[in-house]
Structure 1
Amino acid sequence: MTLLTDNWMQIAVALGIGLLIGIERERRKGGGRDRAPAGIRTYAVTALLGALAFELGGVPLLAVVTLSVAGFIALGYFRTRNQRDPGLTSEFVQLLTLLLGALAMREPLLASSLGVTVALLLAARTRIHTFVRKTLTEAELHDALVLAGAALVVLPLLPDSYMGPFNAINPHTLWIIVVLMMSISASGYIALRLLGPRYGLPTAGLASGFVSSSATIASMGTLAKQKPELMPAAVGGAVLSTVATIVQMAVVLGATHPATLTAMAVPLLLAGLMAVTYGAWFFVKALRQNPPETISMGRAFSFRSALILASTMGTVLLIAAALNAWLGSAGLIAGTAIAGFADTHSPAVSIASLAAGGKLEAAEAVLPILLAMSTNTVTKIVLAVLNGGSRFALQVIPGLVLTIAAAWLGGLQDLMN
């Protein structure tokens, strides 16, 4: 009576887990002589067995019960091993149900969450198999493994401290940026993969802008020059790629030094709204046209580009720290502005890293970051003219200028203080 009074909620959670998983297994159980040995009742009883074993005898009794159940499961598997499905999913799930029932007596919320997750994985069996075997390509699998290795293996091993000349390099922070750049690029790739070419070049421009907005503007300009009928879509993609740049900027600043992101919040927000508004106008115009037949997907991300970006960030960080040490704030601003011609994220992260290291205040980072964004805008304008011609450039340049002007307007108050 005491057991039921004190632990009825945990027991109910254990029973719910067994019923939830059992319902899914019952639907796949089959019928006749070839049916699976375990259904909804078996899974419900298994979960309750685990809960009661753990409550009455703790880990020792649970271990004995688990071994006993494993023996019965093995007998059931040998009886049905010659059926068309030789997998071990049901057998392992039954053991997992037993352990989840036991876990519910100590951590009911965690146990119920895991139970729902298991049920979802089981119910999505066909879709998962189709995705892995027919949808996921070999290159995409390779990219996913590289990203997982970078995030889960390399990142935890890197020291999280400032070192090197001028004490300016933090390997852990630089690698976080690498992982973020690959993750964001992969997210854009997935979005384009799911949407397909229906939404045309604007979607592709937004997605590829996560890799390089400058390169996106150049490629869109080349396409617009070759196929003038795609001009609105190409312009929309070019301008929307700057939205990706701003989103990346917010993410990398937040990962490097949240206070710097707070200082840059208004400039980035205004710049993003301006870019979205201008790009959306051309996006709507592009939707009224026939979308391009195909869009080259390429790879989910470029690991080489991410490494080059990290190296560039490290170099810029050293240069900025050296100029700051030798010339003060004037040298820091000059170095950041020059680096912006090549990439806007490297100097921004460098400045944020200096702020994180206590070498300057977060508010002092606004001016150099805005200068880096401005010089990078100059690079984009030059690429638009050279690759897209006058007609393309005359439509893209106003969006670029308005976007950077909005950023300066948003940072005006900090600059005047």
Structure 2
Amino acid sequence: MPIQLDSSTLLGLSVALGIGLLIGAERERRKGSGPTRGAAGIRTFAIIALLGAVAVLLGGTAVLVAVTLVVGALALASYVRTRENDPGMTTEVALLLTCLLGGLAMRHAVLAAGIGAALAALLAAKTRLHHFVSRVLTERELHDALLFSAAALIVLPLAPDRFMGPFDAVNPYDVTRLVVLVMAISALGYVATRALGPRYGLPLAGFAAGFISSTATIHAMGTRAAGSSTQADGAIAGAALSSVATIVQLAVVVAAVQPALLDALLWPLVFGGVAACAYSLLFFPRGTAAADKPHGPPENQDMGRAFNLKTAVSFAAVVSVVLVVSSALSDWLGARGTLLAAGVTGLADAHATAASVASLVQAGKLPLNAALWPIVAGLSTNSLMKAAVAFHAGGNAYAARIVPGLVLVIAAVWLGVWMG
């Protein structure tokens, strides 16, 4: 088959050469010198990458497989020669992958370049990765990381993405995603606390997580506050700041679905947002200089677990029950149950209520002047769920400081409705 020398071919060859030079440059620095030096450096990696690219040019996948087998045999011979001084196989495996990346560059240059850059970064981070895994990461944290990875990368993709169960109200994929979400929020607070200390880490983590789910954030922060008295103030501030994120995201959702509805919600959202900001500032941690510093290794101070799987599952189960009840009301009452169904749906997610109501307005099934009440009702019942979650996750002391803020925010929202 004649070789066509066009721009894509030249791009593929260039990317293959760049991948080989990049990875080879990193390996050259660790190659050493003398009789025991490594067998592959910058020139060898560049040549191997071009060899993979030329193999694809000459005969496609079949030739690339043959060339890769030859490179694998050479890498094995190199490992046998150097294994007494260096039992690792990183360079040999990287050599094989570089050959394959050279071939991939001829068909998907951008993908090959990205994988090549990631490989080079991974090789260069050897010392940092070894230090992090052996000295910084504890066995308990490693277990939690593996558990989270299994839930997010194995269980979640396998969960059926369709509605089933009573009234077709439960989507197993959404329920599993909620479990992963609660785990992720709790882990975010844990990582932020280790990096920045509880004074700044937990409030920032709570505000960021609030854009995903304020209810789940209040649950995760409550668990953390109950498990460590030194982190209670930061967890409370993070939980309070998540309500600010709720107001902001609700405005964005409504504006995206039905912008005209945002005018009717302007004052309620402004008043609620200001109240949430003001209340969260009351609980921003004030500590000594020592308390402001990031925490050291966990063995110096018990920071609890990154997340609790049982509490995450129980939270998702409660939300699922609420969705079933909401669907039942809609099925039994029809359009007449819009306000009641919105309130029940709000127990699980105020944003879902706002999005569904805005969609009804956009479709002409609900008048614009009647859309304000279901959204505010959903926001109000969502605060009830947050209050219940606060009691369940953090106990009376945690809830006693979270619930007044929720009441203040909802009062401000209804004040905005009255003034509007």
* Equivalent position of 1:25 in the other structure: 27
Inter-CA distance 262–407: structure 2 relative to 1 (3 Å threshold):
farther
C-alpha displacement at 1:154, in angstroms?
2.2
Inter-CA distance 139–25: structure 2 relative to 1 (3 Å threshold):
same
Inter-CA distance 101–185: structure 2 relative to 1 (3 Å threshold):
same
For residue 104 of structure 2, what is the amino acid of its counterpart? L
CA distance in 2, matches of 1:161, 1:253: 28
CA distance in 1, matches of 2:390, 2:312: 24
Q: Which residue of 380, 384, 387 maps to 1:371?
A: 380
CA distance in 2, matches of 1:114, 1:3: 26
CA distance in 2, matches of 1:149, 1:253: 34
For residue 242 of structure 2, what is the amino acid of its counterpart? A
Q: How does 1:111-260 map to 2 (within 5 A)?
A: 111-197=112-198, 199=200, 202=203, 213=218, 216=221, 237-244=235-242, 247=245
CA distance in 1, matches of 2:148, 2:246: 17
Deviates more, 1:190-199 or 1:121-130: 190-199
Deviates more, 1:10-19 or 1:367-376: 367-376
For residue 366 of structure 1, what is the amino acid of its counterpart? I
Superposed CA deviations along residues 8-58 of structure 1, whole A, max 9, x for unmatched, are 222111111100000100011111122111111111111111111111222
Contact 1:320 1:350 in 2 (8 A): no
State the secondary structure of the residue aligned to 2:164: coil
State the secondary structure of the residue aligned to 1:34: coil
Identity among equivalent positions (%) equals 41
* Equivalent position of 1:227 in the other structure: none
Instruction: Give the CA RMSD over aligned residues.
Output: 4.7
* Equivalent position of 2:311 in the other structure: 305
C-alpha displacement at 1:97, in angstroms?
0.7
Contact 1:174 1:314 in 2 (8 A): yes
Superposed CA deviations along residues 100-154 of structure 1, whole A, max 9, x for unmatched, are 1111111111111111000000011111111112222222222222222222222
Inter-CA distance 351–398: structure 2 relative to 1 (3 Å threshold):
closer
Q: How does 1:43-62 map to 2 (within 5 A)?
A: 43-62=45-64
CA distance in 1, matches of 2:93, 2:223: 53
* Equivalent position of 2:325 in the other structure: 319
CA distance in 1, matches of 2:228, 2:91: 53
For residue 291 of structure 2, what is the amino acid of its counterpart? P
C-alpha displacement at 1:279, in angstroms?
2.8
Inter-CA distance 5–382: structure 2 relative to 1 (3 Å threshold):
closer
C-alpha displacement at 1:406, in angstroms?
5.3
Inter-CA distance 98–379: structure 2 relative to 1 (3 Å threshold):
closer
Inter-CA distance 373–33: structure 2 relative to 1 (3 Å threshold):
same
Inter-CA distance 385–197: structure 2 relative to 1 (3 Å threshold):
closer
Q: What residue ranges of structure 1 are gaps of 5+ in the alignment?
A: 225-229
Contact 2:159 2:173 in 1 (8 A): yes
Inter-CA distance 25–61: structure 2 relative to 1 (3 Å threshold):
same
For residue 291 of structure 1, what is the amino acid of its counterpart? A
Contact 1:321 1:332 in 2 (8 A): no
* Equivalent position of 1:279 in the other structure: 280
Q: How many residues align?
A: 395
CA distance in 2, matches of 1:61, 1:191: 50
Please tell me whether residue 8 in structure 1 is matched to residue 10 in structure 2: yes
Q: What residue ranges of structure 2 are gaps of 5+ in the alignment?
A: 296-300
Inter-CA distance 124–23: structure 2 relative to 1 (3 Å threshold):
same
CA distance in 2, matches of 1:319, 1:12: 60
For residue 62 of structure 1, what is the amino acid of its counterpart? L
Q: If the length of structure 1 is used for normalisation, what is the TM-score?
A: 0.75
CA distance in 2, matches of 1:239, 1:141: 28
For residue 313 of structure 1, what is the amino acid of its counterpart? V
Q: If the length of structure 2 is used for normalisation, what is the TM-score?
A: 0.75
CA distance in 1, matches of 2:133, 2:408: 44
Inter-CA distance 128–324: structure 2 relative to 1 (3 Å threshold):
same
Contact 1:213 1:244 in 2 (8 A): yes
CA distance in 2, matches of 1:296, 1:329: 53
Q: How does 1:34-49 map to 2 (within 5 A)?
A: 34-49=36-51
CA distance in 2, matches of 1:63, 1:381: 58
For residue 332 of structure 2, what is the amino acid of its counterpart? W
For residue 190 of structure 1, what is the amino acid of its counterpart? V
